[in-house]
Amino acid sequence: MSRIAVTNLKISHFRSYKNVEILTSGCPVALFGSNGAGKTNILEALSLLSPGRGLRRSRVDEMERKPEGIGWKISATLQSLGQIHEIETIYSGDGSRSVRIDGKVTTQTALGRIARIVWLVPVMDRLWVDGAEGRRRFLDRLSMSFEPSHAQYTLDYERAMRERNKMLKEGINDPAWYSAVESQMAESGRKIEQNRLYTIDRIMEAQTNVQTSFPTAQLGLVGANNEAIIVDDLKDAFANNRRADLFAGRTLIGPHRDDLTAMYSAKETAAKLCSTGEQKALLVSLILANGRALSQDFGSAPILLLDEVSAHLDIERQNALYEEIISLGAQAWMTGTGKELFEAFGDRAQFLEVNEASSGSFLK
Ligand SMILES: Nc1ncnc2c1ncn2[C@@H]1O[C@H](COP(=O)(O)OP(=O)(O)O)[C@@H](O)[C@H]1O
Ligand SMILES: [Mg+2]
C-alpha cells in the first residue's frame, strides 16, 4: 500500500531519551506508559520531521537532553508514496536545527514536501475556546499538508511584516518604503489565504457523504474585523490601514489576524459553545476529513500524531476513530496511559511500552 510512514526512527539526546531506535512496519503505533514516561517526547521528535518548531513549539535548546545539553539528533527513514527517504534533523548546540534529506543539506520547508504530518495534542482541548492564534496554527498545519509551500509563504509574510512593524514603531511615514514591503506582504499573504480557503473547502467536502461517527463542522475563515475572508487586494488594505497601524505601532489587519470558525453542524452550535467531548470530536473529525481529502489528492493520508486523543472520547468513538485510521491507511502514532485503550486495534497496530529510568526513557 502506498502510504506515508516512518519505518525507522532514531532519537538521540533529545528530551528524556539518550538513544532509542524504533522500527515499524508502517502500521499505526500505540505508545503506552505512565505519566512522564516519555510518550509525548516521541511524538514531538516525529513532529520535527516537518517544518516548524514541533508540537510543543519549544525552542531547540529546550529539547536537548539535560543535564548533558550537547544538542540532539533525530533521524528517520520515511516511506512516502513508493519512495524512501532518509531524513535527519540536528541541533548541535547553537543556531537553529539543520536538516538533511538523503544526505543533502536542505531547508526545513523542504521537509514539508515529503513528510506530511498533522497532530492533535491535549492543549488543543481548548482550541475552540482560546484565542485565534491556536486555530490559525491548526489550520496552517492542515494547509501545509495540502500545500507544502504554505510554510515558505508564512515565513515570507512574517519577515515582511516584521519590517513593516519596525517602520510603524519608528513612526516612519515614507509611502514608498511602505509600498515595497506591503507588496511583499500582499503577495505571500494572498497565497496564505488562498491555501487556507482551499483547505477549508477540501475538508468540508471530505466530510460529506461518508460513513463516520464523528460530527461534521461548517468551517469559515474570518479576518480581524470578523468578516469572511475573500481573497482580494491585500495591498490596498494595508495601504488604507497605515494610519491606524502607525497609531498602534504594528500591523492590525492581514492573514496573521485571520481566525478559523467552526459550527457543529447537527446542532447548529458554535464550536466554542459545545461540550469538551464534542469539541474534541470535532477536532478528530477535521483531522480525519483532512486525511481523506489528502489521500484523494495526493495518494496517502498524512502521518497522524495523536497525543492522549482518547481522553475525552467515549469507547464507541475511540473504536470508530481506530477503524477510520485503519481504513484511511494512515500511520497514526498514538499515546495513552494504558495498553487497553488501544485494544481494538488487535494486531493491526504495533504496541510499545514507554518507561523511564534514571538513565533516560526506554521502550519495551
Ligand atoms: N530537555 C529535557 N531533558 C531531559 N528530560 C526532559 C527534557 N524535557 C523533558 N524531559 C522529561 O521528559 C519527561 C516527560 O516526557 P513526556 O514525553 O512528556 O511524558 P508522557 O509519557 O507523559 O507523555 C519528564 O520526565 C521530563 O522531565
Ligand atoms: Mg504526554
DSSP 21-89: EEE--SS-EEEE-STTSSHHHHHHHHHTTSSSSTTTT--GGGGBPTTT---EEEEEEEEETTEEEEEEE
Q: Note the pLDDT of residue 224.
A: 86
Taking 90 as the threshold, does the pLDDT of residue 5 lie above it?
A: yes
What is the rounded end-to-end Cα distance, in angstroms, of the chain?
28
The span from the CA of 194 to the CA of 183, in Å, is 16
What is the number of the ligand 1 atom nearest to the C-alpha of 62?
Answer: 1
CB 41 near ligand 1, within 6 Å = yes
What is the number of the ligand 1 atom nearest to the C-alpha of 65?
Answer: 3
Residues of the chain with CATH 3.40.50.300: 1-116+298-364
C-alpha cell at 75: 533521524
Q: Note the pLDDT of residue 225.
A: 83
Indicate the pLDDT class of residue 311, thresholds 50, 70 and 90. Answer: confident
Q: What spacing in Å lies between the alpha carbon of 37 and ligand 2's midpoint?
A: 8
CB 328 near ligand 1, within 6 Å = no
Q: Note the pLDDT of residue 91.
A: 98
CB 72 near ligand 1, within 6 Å = no
Q: Note the pLDDT of residue 209.
A: 82
What's the fold here for domain 126-297? Answer: Glutathione S-transferase Yfyf (Class Pi); Chain A, domain 2 (1.20.1050)
Entry pTM:
0.96
The span from the CA of 319 to the CA of 349, in Å, is 13
- What is the pLDDT averaged over residues 248-267? 96
Taking 90 as the threshold, does the pLDDT of residue 81 lie above it?
A: no
- Least distant ligand from the CA of 35: 1
Residues of the chain with CATH 1.20.1050.90: 126-297
Indicate the pLDDT class of residue 250, thresholds 50, 70 and 90. Answer: very high
Taking 60 as the threshold, does the pLDDT of residue 297 lie above it?
A: yes
CB 127 near ligand 1, within 6 Å = no
Q: pLDDT tens, 140-178?
A: 999 999 999 999 999 999 999 999 999 999 999 999 999
Residue 301 and residue 329 in contact, taking contact as beta carbons nearer than 8 Å: yes
What is the number of the ligand 1 atom nearest to the C-alpha of 64?
Answer: 1
Q: Note the pLDDT of residue 105.
A: 98
What is the number of the ligand 1 atom nearest to the C-alpha of 38?
Answer: 17
CB 71 near ligand 1, within 6 Å = no
- Least distant ligand from the CA of 33: 1
The span from the CA of 285 to the CA of 279, in Å, is 10
Q: What spacing in Å lies between the alpha carbon of 63 and ligand 1's midpoint?
A: 9
CB 35 near ligand 1, within 6 Å = yes
What is the number of the ligand 1 atom nearest to the C-alpha of 63?
Answer: 1
Taking 60 as the threshold, does the pLDDT of residue 345 lie above it?
A: yes
Hey, CA dihedral for 185, 187, 286, 334, is it positive or negative? negative
Site to probe by mutation for ligand 1, drawn from 15, 39, 40, 68 as the one with most ligand atoms within 8 Å of Cβ, is 15
Indicate the pLDDT class of residue 7, thresholds 50, 70 and 90. Answer: very high
- What is the pLDDT averaged over residues 237-260? 97
CB 59 near ligand 1, within 6 Å = no
- Least distant ligand from the CA of 44: 1
What is the number of the ligand 1 atom nearest to the C-alpha of 35?
Answer: 22
| Inter-axis angle of helices 132-146 and 175-207, nearest 10 | 70
Residue spans of alpha helices (H) in the chain: 39-47, 108-114, 132-146, 150-169, 175-207, 234-240, 242-248, 276-298, 315-328
CB 215 near ligand 1, within 6 Å = no
Q: Which of 264, 270, 283 is nearest to 118 (CA)?
A: 283
Taking 60 as the threshold, does the pLDDT of residue 251 lie above it?
A: yes
1-116+298-364 is a CATH 3.40.50.300 domain: yes
- Least distant ligand from the CA of 308: 2
Q: What spacing in Å lies between the alpha carbon of 161 and ligand 1's midpoint?
A: 35
C-alpha cell at 213: 461517527
Residue 153 and residue 191 in contact, taking contact as beta carbons nearer than 8 Å: yes
Q: For the chain, give the percent of residues with pLDDT over 70.
A: 100
Q: Note the pLDDT of residue 211.
A: 85
Mean pLDDT, the chain, integer: 95
